[in-house]
Amino acid sequence: MTVHEAHTRVLVEGPRPDVRVPVTRVALTNGETFDRYCTEGPGSAPEAGLPRLRAAWIEERADTEPYDGRDTDLLDNGRAAVRRGAAREEWPGAQARPRRAVGSRRVTQLHYARAGIVTPEMEYVAVREGCDVELVRSEVAAGRAIIPANVNHPESEPMIIGRRFLVKVNANIGNSAVTSSIAEEVDKLTWAVTWGADTVMDLSTGDDIHTTREWILRNSPVPIGTVPIYQALEKVDGQADRLTWQVFRDTVIEQCEQGVDYMTIHAGVLLRHVPLTADRVTGIVSRGGSIMAGWCLAHHEENFLHTHFDELCEIFARYDVAFSLGDGLRPGSVADANDAAQLAELRTLAELTTRAWEHDVQVMVEGPGHVPLNLVEENVVLQQDWCHGAPFYTLGPLATDIAPGYDHITSAIGAATIAMHGTAMLCYVTPKEHLGLPNRDDVRTGVVTYKLAAHAADVAKGHPGARAWDDALSRARFEFRWRDQFALALDPQTAESFHDETLPAESAKTAHFCSMCGPKFCSMRISQDVRDRFGSGVDAEAGMRQKAAEFLELGGSVYVER
């Protein structure tokens, strides 16, 4: 079973009948229910795709129109497809014509928010976050939050990324030249969302990139991000010096038409920044960053992503694609954290943020990486200051480099800390980081680890309602409602299976102890017995003395017999 039987998916109706927001309703054994944020409405058969939830909302705005999109090219799926002379395993569902803005209209959530328009996407988000819709609109209008929502990805269920809202988690999937298949990637998508990924990035760099992405988009209820330079590089045979603005622009439009919601653009890697990395312990560790650095050096020209940035903004504004301004010069080791190269790039990203906002394009800014714990806060403070509060989206950061195989943990430490200080979205790290491509289990471990880090930050920030989840679970724990403890757990199956390793009997699910301490040493049990006998709020000396006498008369034991 993929979801505990106490869970049901409920659609909460918003201010208009077609705004119906999914929550996971947990039925507790004491008759109460607890609603958990969930990232996925009713699912789909992969071959048919998800319902086009937002299609009517997009159409009713009447500022976009369908058009004959770019012709797909065999090379969109890599050189293997060219050699074969055909794509393979194409998505069999009904293809919609792509849409884009009418003329030079700007069709972004930022544009609407600035104009004082409350979109259904904003209504949806407000229900989801349990906040006033005006908070959503005003934060989007100020650039302090984004709602990634490409008009060509109507399947996506709106979500918001911003420091005033719940901290979000992104999961990376995607194949590489060495491993994986389309079916595996679609399975990883579904799996990641099942465990709570708020967005998914398809970072494929191998074959079948276009087709893999089509399957993913048509089946994704969460926004999809990409790094288009990866596909562009495939189109020029992996030779960075052959990359051109034209190839890149064509790839971006291809992805805009498919429905990618946000794209990582490494426009902050400037020619003059590259030498700043020469004496680093780990040089440039961003794939996109190293590709663009290689291009800049090969041509001794400025990064074409930077010189053509306004054109990119114009394209993004026509589809409502959000920028994720890539930190191509992020540190790859704690030794390189917060160094001149990283901060020089951040200054450039701040300038680009302002330029994108001039085009009404939504922006988030990417952050590191590997940062010792004492330098983590500075990263958020500088980014929020320099980038005027644009949402920060960080990869970890890893608090130490010494634990390959455990980097979901080394990075969750940094992630919880940086989110507490204001990072809006965390990019997960799996146990395979630095070692290989994550498999299905790694995706689950990475997502669950990051959900707990994000929630720890929500609690630390005092986010309204965040602690209610902790309290509900702790009450279940204290009252020995084992089934409720499992059902409320971030990962019910793991919690239950760990419990059952030592006490598999059905009766143990109602026992007032577990194998950790056994019945006689269970402090929860003893403490409950004490409370039951002495009541809550006891403080009178006399009352306690009398209770003590009663307690001894009753046998004086707070333990069960073995």
396 near a copy of itself (CB under 8 A): no
| Bridge pairing between strands 33-37 and 199-202 | unpaired
Side-chain-side CA neighbours of 181 within 13 Å: the count stands at: 5
- Minimum distance between the CB of residue 460 and a copy of itself, rounded to whole angstroms? 4
Q: In one letter, which amino acid is 233?
A: L
CB of 277 to a copy of itself, least distance (A): 7
Per the annotation, binding residues for Zn(2+) are 370, 434
Contact 168, 197 (CB under 8 A): no
- Cβ atoms of residues 512 and 522 within 8 Å: yes
Of 154 and 174, the one with the shorter C-beta distance to a copy of itself is: 174
Q: Which is nearer to a copy of itself, 82 or 271 (CB)?
A: 271
Which of 285, 363 has the CB closer to a copy of itself?
285
One residue of 51, 404, 464, 465 binding a copy of itself per CB under 8 A: 404
Half-sphere exposure of 275 (CA within 13 A, CB side): 3
Site string for a copy of itself, 269-308 (x = CB under 8 A): --x--xx-xxx-xxxxxxx-xxx-xx--xxxx--------
| Site size with a copy of itself, rule: CB under 8 A | 139
Alpha-carbon span 484 to 75, nearest angstrom: 52
Q: Which residues are annotated as a binding site for substrate?
A: 172, 201, 230, 266, 286-288, 327-330, 366, 393
Which of 402, 505, 506, 507 binds a copy of itself (CB under 8 A)? It is: 402
- Position 323, amino acid: F
Minimum gap (Å) between residue 233 Cβ and a copy of itself: 7
199, β-bridge pairs: 170
In the window 242-271, what residues touch a copy of itself (CB under 8 A)? Answer: 242, 271
List alpha helices for 398-534, DSSP H.
407-420, 440-460, 466-478, 482-488, 492-502, 523-534
Q: Please pick, from the candidates 25, 351, 490, 512, the single residue that binds a copy of itself as defined by CB under 8 A.
A: 490
Contact call for residues 120 and 57 (beta carbons, < 8 A): yes
- The residue among 15 and 404 lying less far from a copy of itself, judged by its C-beta, is 404
- Of 15, 436, 464, 465, the one binding a copy of itself by CB under 8 A: 436
Secondary structure (H, E, C), 214-229: HHHHHCCCCCEEECHH
Which tokens sit at 447? Answer: 């997502």
Residue 551 vs residues 76, 79, 124, 556: alpha-carbon distances, Å: 78, 81, 55, 5
Non-local (6+) Cβ contacts of 521 within 8 A are: none
The nearest distance, CB 451 to a copy of itself, in angstroms, is 8
**Annotated binding site: which residue ranges?**
172, 201, 230, 266, 286-288, 327-330, 366, 370, 393, 434, 514, 517, 522
What is the C-alpha to C-alpha distance for residues 399 and 201, in angstroms, rounded to an integer?
Answer: 23
- Please, which residue, 233 or 322, has the CB nearer to a copy of itself? 233
CB 434 → a copy of itself: shortest distance, Å? 7
Integer Cα distance of 50 and 193 in angstroms: 14
Q: Can you name the residues that pair with 366 across neighbouring β-strands?
A: 393
Query: Which of 152/423 has CB closer to a copy of itself?
Result: 423
DSSP string, 325-363: E--TT--SSGGGTT-HHHHHHHHHHHHHHHHHHHTT--E
> How crowded is the C-beta side of 445, counted as CA atoms within 13 Å?
16
**Chain residues 491-550 in contact with a copy of itself, contact rule CB under 8 A:** 491, 494-495, 497-499, 501-503, 513-524, 526-531, 533-539, 544-545, 547-549
Residues 180 to 239 in contact with a copy of itself, rule: CB under 8 A: 205-206, 230, 233, 238-239
Q: Name the one range near a copy of itself by CB under 8 A: 125-133, 183-191, 212-220, 474-482.
A: 474-482
Residue whose CB is less far from a copy of itself, 113 or 447: 447
Nearer to a copy of itself, 189 or 473 (CB): 473
433 scored as a contact of a copy of itself (CB under 8 A): yes
* Antiparallel, parallel or unpaired: β 145-146 and 33-37: unpaired
**Is 25 a binder of a copy of itself (CB under 8 A)?**
no
Query: Whose Cβ is closer to a copy of itself: residue 244's or residue 515's?
Result: 515
User: What's the min distance (Å) between Cβ of 219 and a copy of itself?
Assistant: 24
Structure tokens at 50: 């998800």
